[in-house]
């Protein structure tokens, strides 16, 4: 298991204004936590409590239908200083959709997120990281930023937490890494209970990705 996906070698050639594979350069050492697939009433509240305990900010790439079901939780995420991102409406297999269907998935969630934080535009992260060329071209033409990641926690693999921790410690994240996690299971919470104190002790500040313009 390697937390650094091979596809990043190709994606890094794209301008960072089109597709972000690292966080913005700031003074000091920073990590950018991101969570996909929520909000989830069984796991997101405890995760928010843990982030608050460690004064950590993050970015949550939300699924539109889950925002409809758990709007209060989406509002809590925004109210506590985390940024909202677009992770499609239903988390489908994007490669099986037409471009029009893909864009409808994004647009439906944009409307929901606007109702939460009032912002007209949010960064988009494609489900499962699937990025088709027509969709990339359309999003670039609309100046809608795509936020990818540079470090995969592998929390979705459901491997035992001690095994995942051993991998993360063997291949530790670096300054500016965008860390992929999920808030629809207990795994991210268990990992971060161990990792947040360690990362802070190493001098990292946990930041949210910048807002989309």
CB distance 21 to 148 below 8 Å = yes
- Residue 36 bears catalytic tag: yes
Band the pLDDT of 18: cuts 50, 70, 90. confident
In tens, the pLDDT along 168-200 reads 999 999 999 999 999 988 999 999 999 999 999
Examine the pLDDT at 57 and tell me if it is beyond 70.
yes
Residue 1 resides in a domain: no
pTM of the model: 0.94
End-to-end Cα separation, the chain, in angstroms: 35
Which of the residues 40, 182, 184, 187 is marked catalytic?
182
Q: Which CATH number do you get for residue 122?
A: 3.20.20.370
Please tell me the distance from the alpha carbon of residue 77 to that of residue 50, in angstroms, as a whole number: 13
Domain tally, the chain: 1
Residue 21 lies in a domain: yes
Range of the domain at 34: 8-207
**Assigned token pair, 145:** 């930023």
Give φ, ψ of 4 to 5 degrees: -105, 105
For residue 213, being part of any structural domain is answered with no
Mark whether 182 is an active-site residue: yes
Instruction: Tell which residue, 122, 138, 43, has the closest CA to residue 87.
Output: 122
């Amino acid at each position: 298991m390697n937390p650094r996906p091979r596809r990043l070698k190709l994606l890094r050639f794209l301008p960072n204004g089109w597709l972000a594979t690292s966080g913005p350069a700031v003074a000091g050492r920073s990590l950018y936590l991101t969570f996909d697939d929520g909000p989830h009433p069984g796991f997101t509240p405890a995760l928010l409590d843990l982030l608050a305990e460690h004064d950590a900010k993050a970015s949550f790439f939300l699924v539109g239908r889950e925002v409809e079901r758990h709007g209060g939780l989406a509002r809590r995420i925004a109210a506590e200083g985390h940024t909202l991102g677009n992770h499609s409406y239903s988390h489908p297999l994007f490669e099986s959709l037409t471009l029009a269907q893909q864009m409808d998935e994004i647009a439906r969630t944009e409307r929901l997120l606007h109702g939460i934080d009032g912002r007209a535009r949010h960064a988009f992260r494609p489900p499962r990281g699937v990025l088709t060329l027509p969709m990339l071209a359309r999003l670039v033409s609309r100046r809608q930023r795509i936020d990818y990641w540079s470090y995969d926690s592998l929390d979705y693999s459901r491997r035992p937490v001690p095994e995942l921790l051993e991998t993360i410690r063997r291949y530790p994240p670096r300054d500016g890494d965008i860390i992929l996690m999920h808030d629809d299971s207990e795994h991210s919470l268990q990992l971060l209970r161990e990792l947040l104190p360690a990362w802070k002790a190493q001098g990292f500040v946990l930041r949210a990705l910048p807002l989309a313009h």
